[in-house]
Amino acid sequence: MRSSKSRSRNKNRNNRPSGGNIINRVFDSQGPDGKVRGTPQQIIEKYNQLHRDAVLSGDRVDAENYAQHAEHYTRLLAEAQREVEAKREEQEEQNRQRQAERDRERQERLKAQEAAANDPASMEQPDVAEPQDSGLVETPEEKPKRPRRPRKPRNPEGGGDAPKPSPDDGVAPEAAE
C-alpha cells in the first residue's frame, strides 16, 4: 500500500501556478458559496457581481469576502500582465539590437564593395596567356551574310506604282469586287 506522502509528492502545495500563461489559464476558485471556474478576468467579473449582489441584499460580510476574492485575482492578473509586458519589451529590445547589427553589417558590406569597385589595384585582372608564335593569324569567325531578297508587293494586281492608302490618311480603302 502506498503512503500518503508519496502520493502528495508531486502536488504543488503553494497556491501559485507554476509557469504558463496565467492570463488565459483556467482557475478553480473555492469561494464562500462554492467553486468559481474560469480565467482570472472571468473570476474577477463573477466575484464583482457576487459583491454587488451581496451589497444589495445587505450582507456586508459576504460583500467584503467577495471583494477580497476579486482583489486577489485582480492582483494575480496585474502581475501576470506586467510579466508579459516585460517579456514583450525584452523581446522588442533584442529585435532592435539584431536589426541594428544587421544594418551595421550591411553598411560594412556596401562600403567594402564600393572600395573594391573604386580601387583599381584590387580589381581582378583577366588572365592573359603568353603569345606563342605559331605563324597563324587569328581572324574572327563570322557567318557570311546572305543578301536580302526584295519584297513582293502587297497589291495582288502587281502594280506597285500607287501606294496603298493607310488608315491614318482618313481615306477608306476601296472594297474588293
Asked whether residue 12 is assigned to any structural domain, the reply reads: no
Asked whether residue 141 is assigned to any structural domain, the reply reads: no
Closest alpha carbon to 79 in 16, 26, 37: 16
Q: The pTM is what?
A: 0.46
Asked whether residue 7 is assigned to any structural domain, the reply reads: no
Asked whether residue 163 is assigned to any structural domain, the reply reads: no
**Tell me, what's the pLDDT at 110?**
92
* Phi/psi of residue 27, nearest 5 degrees: -110, 155
Asked whether residue 110 is assigned to any structural domain, the reply reads: yes
State which residues of the chain have pLDDT below 70: 1-20, 120-133, 156-177
3-state secondary structure of 77: helix
Per-residue CA distances from 32 to 36, 86, 87 (Å): 10, 35, 36
**Tell me, what's the pLDDT at 129?**
63
Domain that holds residue 68: 22-118
The cell numbers describing 115, all together, are 572600395
Structural domains of the chain, count: 1
Asked whether residue 69 is assigned to any structural domain, the reply reads: yes
Label residue 3 left, alpha or beta by phi (over 0 means left) and psi (-120 to 50 means alpha).
Answer: beta
